[in-house]
Structure 1
Amino acid sequence: MISHGTFTWNELYTDNPKKACDFYGSLLGWQFEEMPGPDGVYRIAKVGDRPVAGIFEMKGEHFRGVPPHWLAYIDVDDIDKRVAAAKKAGAQMIREPFDVEGVGRLAIFKDAVGALIAWMTPVPRG
């Protein structure tokens, strides 16, 4: 179910996912489930059976100089329509809309004040 306009996910971008998992695991009790992805292993942080965040390893030249950071995701009803409107309102695209199988269609951009944000239209859940 899409909760248009609400924050839905948080993701840590880091060049040291093991250290991040050790930190959050020991301090918050998070457990981690690893998933293979197109850019390497993606880690889902869980509290019990409930997913609470993701950990993405920053690899490659396009991450040179990018500090570790948390990225928040907001659900939107129609990513392509909403991104087009965001561009007209001054958004600067980091990643144009793209699909993640089993997750949804998302985009990453800087908003009108320069803050990094991700918007996502999730796949329908059964």
Structure 2
Amino acid sequence: MTGHGQFHWNELMTKDIAASKAFYGEVLGWTFEDMPMGDGTVYTVAMAGGQPAAGLFDMASMTEAGPEGWFAYIAVDDLDAALAAARERGAIVYREPFDVPDVGRIAILADPRGAAQGWMTPARR
């Protein structure tokens, strides 16, 4: 389990899932498992040596998609308390906390200088 303040998960935000799968599959040897999200969205988990390595998110489903790139999630012990402290210090919360079953509680924010990131309290396994 990842500890408080450590990077927990990385996600590629891409506009072309097929091209991204081809690139990372060929170059890094990743395999992929698609996970339907229930609303027509499919989330892809990249596997390295049979273990989850990263996620791929299809930006085509986003109404306001920015540039493609990697997005990091940092583990926190208590998401609500961490967000309160971050807000007091100038952070902007873009997406309020939401729960993903078997994954954890997640929020999207930017630090006072504008660096976007996700914070999450991982689900107990």
- Shorter chain as denominator, the TM-score bin is over 0.9
Query: Structure 2 length as normaliser, TM-score?
Result: 0.93
Report the equivalent of 1:62. Answer: 64
Q: Find the residue that maps to 1:19 and give its secondary structure.
A: helix
Unaligned runs of 5+ in 1: none
After TM superposition, the runs of 4+ consecutive aligned structure 1 residues lying more than 3 A away are none
Give the letter for the 1:100 counterpart.
V
Unmatched tracts of structure 2, length 5 or more: none
Paired with 1:109 and 1:19, the residues of 2 have a C-alpha distance of 28
Alpha-carbon separation, structure 2, partners of 1:39 and 1:108? 22
- What amino acid maps onto 1:51 in structure 2? P
After superposition, the CA RMSD in angstroms is 1.2
What is the SS of the residue equivalent to 1:46? strand
Alignment of 1:97-112 (within 5 A): 97-112=97-112
Other structure's SS at 2:81 match: helix
Task: After TM superposition, give the deviation of residue 2 of structure 1 in Å.
Answer: 4.7
1:39-80 alpha-carbon deviations (Å, 9 max, x no partner)? 6110000112111100001123232xx010111111000001
Are the counterparts in 2 of residues 43 and 54 from structure 1 also a CA contact under 8 Å? yes
Change (3 A) 1:60 1:73: closer
- 2:20 aligned partner: 20
